Amino acid sequence: MKGLVLYECGKTEIRELERPVCGDRDIIIKVESAAICGGDVHFYNGTLDLGNYPIIMGHEFAGIIAEMGVNADKYWKVGDRVVSENTYSVCGRCPSCEKGNFVNCENRRTMGCDENGAFTQYVRVPGELLEVYKNCLFRLPDSIPTEYAPLLEPAANAYMAVVQEGRLMPGENVVIFGAGALGLYSAQIASVSGAANIIVVGMESDKETRFPCARKLGATHTIVNREELKLAEEVKKICGVSGAALVIDAAGPPAVLKQAVGLVRNDGTIVRIGMNDRPFDQGMNVINVKSIDIKGHMGYNTTSWRNVMNLAACGKLDLGTMVTHRLPLTRIQEGFDLLKDSSAIKILIDPDQ
């Protein structure tokens, strides 16, 4: 089989690889569709160092169960269409595992980061994992095409941020920083959840592709975050006395968190999805004075997955509008180049070409 291998920080190539061997409790998934994530772009460009090479990249994927060990969980069948939430292993014992927040397990290993991932044709799901974490795979409802199913992963992320962490109530106003996939799925989840004003704040380069997409998915306003623009005033004009109850930071830079703290209403919530390791060097008393919750976000849990799958299955969540490109695996590197500017949003990969 072929796979995209990250063999050094920021260095990748398509290699011919051995198909994984199915242990007696394992499941082998034939990958039918995968998607490139913003995190993958960091690994590809070398802006994040995995420190663990060589590795097959890719963690957003769906496919068909191709092979099962003789002692694998009989809940699953060869031929099942499934989507993976990309966990490779968890301890099952830590406080996060105990709560079912397997993504936060301090011993979690992830496909495409710590272990081989999905920019290839076959992926092994270890039997040990399937026993501890039964919802690490989901059988796809008939109405969700396998091709689009990898997009359930970023959608589940956004669901966790907006609904489970952000505790959005119908009628509240939301500001979303960042018009990448997570920002756009957050706008859509906010819309499905009954938010009043949904304001997506992005960059000049988002105007052409990403802002129109945001509006299609439910954003009521799109604003370019220019330095001279007094964003808090602009938000006040739109939201009036109710203000912004929830701010989703799907961008990451400290300057954005500063803006978020400034414009969220008193008693409001900020959920930080975006990553950026520069220090936050502002005074922090405002967090007490305004009684703000700032919630660090990582991933999703089974509830997030179950609910986004239900929304997608009944047509209330649009998975496909964000797909701007489809590429064969052999040309996946072009996909990473396309993601360097804002003309691409989500890129689907066909592993068989």
In the list 14, 17, 91, 287, the residue contacting Zn ion (rule: CB under 5 A) is: 91
Instruction: Choose which of 94, 224, 275, 313 interacts with Zn ion (CB under 5 A).
Output: 94
Applying CB under 5 A, the span of 29-37, 48-56, 222-230, 272-280 interacting with Zn ion comes to: 29-37
Q: Rank residues 223 and 322 by Cβ distance to Zn ion and give the closer one.
A: 322
Stretch touching Zn ion by CB under 5 A, among 12-20, 94-102, 111-119, 138-146: 94-102
Nearer to Zn ion, 37 or 65 (CB): 37
Using a 10 angstrom Cβ sphere, with 0-12 exposed, 13-18 middle and 19 or more buried, the burial of residue 149 is buried
User: CB of 121 within 8 A of CB of 1?
Assistant: yes
Question: Which listed range, 91-99, 222-230, 268-276, 317-325, lies at the site for Zn ion (CB under 5 A)?
Answer: 91-99
Q: Which is nearer to Zn ion, 153 or 206 (CB)?
A: 153
# of chain residues touching Zn ion (CB under 5 A): 6
d(CA 77, CA 73): 9
Q: Rank residues 90 and 348 by Cβ distance to Zn ion and give the closer one.
A: 90
Nearer to Zn ion, 90 or 292 (CB): 90
* Helix, strand, coil % in the chain, rounded to nearest 5: 35, 25, 40
Q: Map 93-132 to HEC letters.
A: CCHHHHCCCHHHCCCCEEECCCECCCCECEEEECHHHHHH
If the CB atoms of residues 90 and 162 are measured against Zn ion, the closer one turns out to be: 90
Q: Which residues contact 285 (CB under 8 A, 6 or more apart)?
A: none
Sign of CA dihedral 351, 147, 57, 94: negative
The two tokens of residue 27 are 């499941």
Pick the piece of the chain touching Zn ion (CB under 5 A) from 35-43, 208-216, 258-266, 320-328. 35-43
Stretch that binds Zn ion, among 36-44, 131-139, 278-286, 317-325 (CB under 5 A): 36-44
Rank residues 94 and 287 by Cβ distance to Zn ion and give the closer one. Answer: 94
- The Cα–Cα gap between 198 and 250 comes to 14
With respect to Zn ion, which residue has the nearer C-beta, 185 or 211?
A: 185
Distance of closest approach, residue 98 Cβ to Zn ion, in angstroms: 8
**Cα distance between residue 70 and residue 72, in whole Å:** 6
Q: Scan residues 46-85 and list those touching Zn ion (CB under 5 A).
A: none
Region from 33-41, 259-267, 315-323, 329-337 binding Zn ion, contact rule CB under 5 A: 33-41
SS3 call for 159: helix
Of residues 4, 27, 97, 144, which one binds Zn ion by CB under 5 A? 97
Instruction: Tell me which residue of 10, 349, 348, 343 sits closest to 180, measured CA to CA.
Output: 343
For residues 302 and 100, is the Cβ–Cβ distance under 8 A? yes
To Zn ion, the closest distance from the beta carbon of 207 in angstroms equals 25
Q: Spell out, one character per residue from 224 to 263, where the chain touches Zn ion: x when CB under 5 A holds, - when not.
A: ----------------------------------------
Cα angle value 253/257/263 (rounded, 5°): 140
What part of residues 111-170 is at the interface with Zn ion (CB under 5 A)? none
> Does 105 contact Zn ion by CB under 5 A?
yes
Residue 88's Cβ-side half-sphere holds a number of Cα atoms within 13 Å equal to: 16
Q: Would you tell me which residues interact with Zn ion (CB under 5 A)?
A: 37, 90-91, 94, 97, 105
